[in-house]
Structure 1
């Protein structure tokens, strides 16, 4: 039984105002309404779903009392207008189901502790491995059932140890705890600590690390809570990744099976088969026969041909022949292609073709940025001698910038795709702001004002049974964490002024809504990491530690806020009492922040030569090295030298203007031609969809787009009933099979230094593309360097 403080007694004892039709997000909603508009829907008519009642039920034009509410719940006639949500999320609620139980807290905190510790440990290894929260979702199920069997039904200190059977709401909260603890890998701040201690020889001690980690991990929680009325409550805020999680949990606990044509297999059985097969199969592309993963067969024919490897390469090339037999190549960087709506996948594909198949080759082979002397796609930084940029050559002994040494050594060079990624990142920020203001401005104002009073969505109506978390709870949480943030930057000498901290937090807060709307609709997040680096490099030049702290507060606050918001939407879908969800997210995040710091310190003290390139077990701290290099490039060299007028990459600054103008042009055009194909263009997705290139390659995005087209366009149009029943179960099975398979392969090979077997299927990958040497070599006796003559 839900506790008394979780049920909104006021709602249960008074009439509910009539259903109010809220304005929807029309342009971006196209992807979700297409299946309705074209007629391949399920058994209910759209109007019936929107109204939710048959002629014998209370009229939606009258006030609806709790009896009418219950009628809609019991009959299931009221449902989401979005087919994706209907396919994944139950439209009913058992509000008496126990949630805030001892079982949930023990299993949730234990799972989060183990998961966050492992991810912190794995993050210091090369290659890095990230444990998926899906693993916790699966493991929690037998643990919950085991609890039911072995724990006695007694009350201890006023708490019932066994409150009914392990249920879907407890399972959801355990999954949420895993998400907020380690869904994104280790805590972002730990790379800062490792960079400071291992490369700058600065160690502020345990107090600094714990306070800083709690501050950076939890400040997004309060921001997310304050914007939830815009990003969680509206039905049009889909948050597609939650649909897979909701399907997984529903399959486990309910597993309703309705035949679809000749397909009678249940969703749970299909999920189990795909997960098991995926787990066993991963040993082939992941270890035994790696050519199945990197299937760039054209490069095998000419392994040393630079042009062939640049054009058809799958690791550092443009991947013009996209074929793979490894789910990791398809979903490893971007996520499952079965999740985003097809309009988002289509924008990604068009962007990939225009940017990386047309513009990038034109720039590269015209040597615009001296690209022919560099890999065409690579995430490293280079000097004018074609070597990795040696940041130690431009630093004084006190780690300050040595301008004379810089002038003597080299400017910074980036691969063509890496340089382009900075331009796309600049454009994505301005495009997101303008797109959101023009296409969603009125809806943001509406939902901010109406909040929970809007009953146009069945899930919102069902959630009004529970007491909401007051805004002042999130406000108090923000003040506490803000105080910890000030302590972090002022008590210890981080070189970051308080005004810069405030600016970083303001940046995250202001952009959380526009970026959140894009992510809630498309499953893609516009990152603030590049913008944060760019800003602090101009504001605080020559301060690498301040740069790292500003980037952490400026980027991770928004990113964490959207993690919390996504889980709030999952709780919304699964009908978790908001106050229980609040404490679950808050307590678990604070606790695992301490756990990750302790794990990092234990690893540093227990493993010999950790974070060095000669570490025998490859605990080389790759994330910390990237952070260190970024701190020098942007905090020491600074964007004023990389992007200044007359510099190599000055032209990339014009992407800010391009991102600003294009949404305005699209908006104005649709005013006169609203039915034009232009309505399918989403500029934030266009610019940010390929944001992981590099280290991802067009090969990954092409394979992603092809699979997304097959499932979310062809199959969805031709057999909507089959797609509705099985799509998200297939996605969850593939993702979890990959997660379990890659975990076991990692544990049994990487940690034991076991090399992949030597045979043709692995040795054939010895190409210029895979070895990252597909470049035009310098003729050292004639032209030992490349690039400008002065910088």
Structure 2
């Protein structure tokens, strides 16, 4: 029998209960509450077995299989309308029966390999193998981001750089994100107070599927007698069957804005209750994919949900509404909510009218002055620009006020850690205190140097307009903003975007160069997103007792395999699908995301921020949001220090300003329903049915995510991809489309033959 040692969660819990007086269930300390959350997610309910095999042949075969398949399919589906994403929760669920099947049918033979040997079947399929399979396939989320940019360059700008550039630039963004996560690991991964809520559904599902400590879970929580496994199975089956209704049979259930059905042509009703182009003031939906559009609300802390909900009410339902109906920036002539930009006739802006494709999509100033300035809907202007600017400055001030000591300590420690981890040094430190040799900091530094070399070589060898100093500037942007973005994501499971900021910086530095704009965006923004996911997987590995060096190896292999799989599928699709990236493409392969990137890069690369903010529309006023964002954290911080037990300590300014970063294309309905569900479970059920919440909340989230993901894939392949959906139509599939909201009606109407604005 292998020896085991107590999980450090158990040690934390024991220390808390010995050192802190218990004041009742309603007033748990923050640390005690954190322990309860981790246990509810299946973390620390069983002792670790350090002898469990991890890097098994089974793990490598299943992991690489899912990495190839999921990376390839997600890359292919990103080219299609409607699009589809195979999430990590789907892989986590599907990998389990494959692992168990391997356990049952593959013989336990030992294969000699020189001085080493490995077993074909090392025994039971364990959670560590399962988790590493998930981590490897989770790279599929990252590859589609880069695939969109490569597609934009080749299909819309007509520059085919070839396999060499594609491999170098894709691996570069992977490695830079990987290095950011590794270098800042002591700040954003190691601290125990940073839970990373996004991994809780993963740990809950793995412990449920592997039947870990079911008896202990049952005795710990005084609630239903149904096991977590039975509960997961029941919810998963019900959710799988139900999702066919809002996704295919009765799509109106997805956007249940019945006031708009009653008054389909009433502008005011549709603008207030509309869920496509309106405010979404009645956020009713029966579609889990709509509720979880910004992430599962069952995983988000209630304080974070409240901050975002208040932000929705204040910025969108009060400020944006006031600006819209007073026609600020001529927004009254446009839909209240849209992710498109418009011209001065109220039509979608035709960017190709103002650029010359023969000259590399340079701006034709005469055509631009003759055609129209760019006009934005109020939610687009306010959230994508004003609040984005405020978020950037508030993040830096917030970190300086709240985390300055942590950042300063990390800056002092990193050089020491680098020196102490060099080969030949006597100390082999281990930050997780489990005796496993940690990943030396210099490993990440080497990866960083390699990434910079590849990036600079790629942009200088191929004519993509971005120069070596642009690569360094983009990396500097990522380096500055990664720590605060990761700290917010680690505590609230909400991503704050810096994409528009990267576009604007590139627009000033490389004015008129559209390709430089897209690759500055790729290196400055996409690397930070990848870095967040890498850090999240590092935290997941820590929770699952996976040694960091083994995780390092798996992530490196996954990067290479995922890159080759994604690029292989991408090149096949762009060269073999008839009419790809055009409106005449077969099976809807019109490249919607790349087309959106194309329009955005033309605006910021060709027109440029200098013209954009210096015109007479008044968009220069949005720059004042930088000042607003820098000021707001200061009084909140002072009042929080002065009144530590007041609500001021719960106000999170970066979330209050930047928590709506998915809007648009997300709507008030997405955020409203997300907030309602999150608060019902995170406050009402957690406080009144504590045992039920502890036992089932995270399992419920896993069941909903995985079942909807699998049902979505099946519906897509059998109904939409085959064209069968075109032959199915009734009132429930059309009623939400026959409304003013769906058509994008406006408050003010432009007379025929006239124009608005300047």
Q: TM-score, normalised on structure 2?
A: 0.91
Report whether the alignment pairs 1:364 with 2:297. Answer: no
Report whether the alignment pairs 1:182 with 2:140. Answer: yes
Counterpart secondary structure, 1:382 = coil
Report whether the alignment pairs 1:142 with 2:97. Answer: yes
**C-alpha distance in 2 between matches for 1:121 and 1:127:** 12
Counterpart secondary structure, 2:390 = helix
Shift of 1:342: 0.2
Report whether the alignment pairs 1:225 with 2:185. Answer: no
Q: 1:484 aligns with which of 435, 454, 462?
A: 454
Shift of 1:413: 0.7
Q: Mind listing any 5+ residue stretches in structure 2 that lack a counterpart?
A: 418-429
Aligned residues: 721
Report whether the alignment pairs 1:277 with 2:238. Answer: yes
Shift of 1:183: 2.7
Counterpart secondary structure, 2:25 = coil
2:422 paired residue number? none
Shift of 1:666: 0.9
**C-alpha distance in 2 between matches for 1:665 and 1:330:** 33
Shift of 1:188: 2.2
Q: 2:600 aligns with which of 630, 635, 638?
A: 630
Shift of 1:462: 6.3
Whether the 8 Å contact between 1:36 and 1:46 is mirrored in structure 2 is: no
Report whether the alignment pairs 1:291 with 2:244. Answer: no
Structure 1 window deviating more from structure 2 (576-585 vs 161-170): it is: 161-170
1:170 paired residue number? 129
Structure 1 window deviating more from structure 2 (186-195 vs 608-617): it is: 186-195
Counterpart secondary structure, 2:740 = coil
Shift of 1:150: 2.3
Q: 2:632 aligns with which of 656, 662, 669?
A: 662
Shift of 1:706: 0.6
Q: Mind listing any 5+ residue stretches in structure 1 that lack a counterpart?
A: 25-34, 51-78, 454-459
**C-alpha distance in 2 between matches for 1:619 and 1:461:** 47
Shift of 1:669: 2.2
Q: 2:50 aligns with which of 88, 95, 102?
A: 95
Counterpart secondary structure, 1:600 = helix
* 1:50-65 correspondence runs (5 A): none
Structure with a larger share of its residues in helix: 2
**C-alpha distance in 2 between matches for 1:571 and 1:762:** 44
Whether the 8 Å contact between 1:220 and 1:560 is mirrored in structure 2 is: yes
Whether the 8 Å contact between 2:167 and 2:563 is mirrored in structure 1 is: yes
Q: 1:405 aligns with which of 341, 344, 367?
A: 367
2:734 paired residue number? 763
**C-alpha distance in 1 between matches for 2:190 and 2:22:** 24
Structure 1 residues 38 and 400: CA distance shift in structure 2, 3 A: farther
Whether the 8 Å contact between 1:267 and 1:729 is mirrored in structure 2 is: yes
**C-alpha distance in 2 between matches for 1:709 and 1:627:** 35
1:414 paired residue number? 376
* 1:553-592 correspondence runs (5 A): 553-592=523-562
Shift of 1:544: 0.2
**C-alpha distance in 2 between matches for 1:288 and 1:271:** 25
1:113 paired residue number? 68
Shift of 1:583: 0.5
1:378 paired residue number? 338
Shift of 1:653: 0.8
Q: 2:405 aligns with which of 430, 442, 461?
A: 442
Whether the 8 Å contact between 1:309 and 1:774 is mirrored in structure 2 is: no
Query: What root-mean-square deviation, in Å, do the aligned CA atoms of Structure 1 and Structure 2 show?
Result: 2.6
Q: 1:266 aligns with which of 224, 227, 230?
A: 227
Q: TM-score, normalised on structure 1?
A: 0.87
* 1:198-217 correspondence runs (5 A): 198-217=155-174
**C-alpha distance in 2 between matches for 1:269 and 1:628:** 47
Report whether the alignment pairs 1:242 with 2:242. Answer: no
Shift of 1:187: 3.1
Report whether the alignment pairs 1:779 with 2:738. Answer: no
1:548 paired residue number? 518
1:479-518 deviations in Å (ceiling 9; x for gaps): 1121111111111011111111101111112211111111
2:487 paired residue number? 517
Structure 1 residues 265 and 450: CA distance shift in structure 2, 3 A: farther
Report whether the alignment pairs 1:608 with 2:566. Answer: no
Shift of 1:446: 4.5
Shift of 1:432: 1.2
Counterpart secondary structure, 2:587 = coil
Structure 1 residues 450 and 216: CA distance shift in structure 2, 3 A: closer
Shift of 1:321: 1.2
1:32 paired residue number? none
Shift of 1:311: 0.9
Shift of 1:749: 2.1
1:86 paired residue number? 39
Whether the 8 Å contact between 2:107 and 2:120 is mirrored in structure 1 is: yes
Counterpart secondary structure, 2:586 = coil
Report whether the alignment pairs 1:39 with 2:24. Answer: yes
**C-alpha distance in 1 between matches for 2:288 and 2:162:** 42
1:263-318 deviations in Å (ceiling 9; x for gaps): 10111111111111111100101111111111000001111122211111011110
Structure 1 residues 730 and 535: CA distance shift in structure 2, 3 A: same
Shift of 1:86: 2.4
**C-alpha distance in 1 between matches for 2:127 and 2:410:** 29
Structure 1 window deviating more from structure 2 (340-349 vs 767-776): it is: 767-776
**C-alpha distance in 2 between matches for 1:326 and 1:159:** 47
**C-alpha distance in 1 between matches for 2:570 and 2:308:** 37
Structure 1 residues 776 and 412: CA distance shift in structure 2, 3 A: same
Whether the 8 Å contact between 1:642 and 1:648 is mirrored in structure 2 is: no
**C-alpha distance in 1 between matches for 2:22 and 2:581:** 56
Structure 1 residues 336 and 37: CA distance shift in structure 2, 3 A: farther
Whether the 8 Å contact between 1:462 and 1:575 is mirrored in structure 2 is: no
Whether the 8 Å contact between 1:89 and 1:574 is mirrored in structure 2 is: no
**C-alpha distance in 2 between matches for 1:395 and 1:526:** 32
Counterpart secondary structure, 2:298 = coil
Whether the 8 Å contact between 2:211 and 2:229 is mirrored in structure 1 is: no
Report whether the alignment pairs 1:526 with 2:496. Answer: yes
Whether the 8 Å contact between 2:223 and 2:692 is mirrored in structure 1 is: no
1:600-630 deviations in Å (ceiling 9; x for gaps): 1111222111111111311001111011111
1:424 paired residue number? 387
**C-alpha distance in 2 between matches for 1:325 and 1:282:** 9
Report whether the alignment pairs 1:341 with 2:341. Answer: no
Shift of 1:383: 0.5
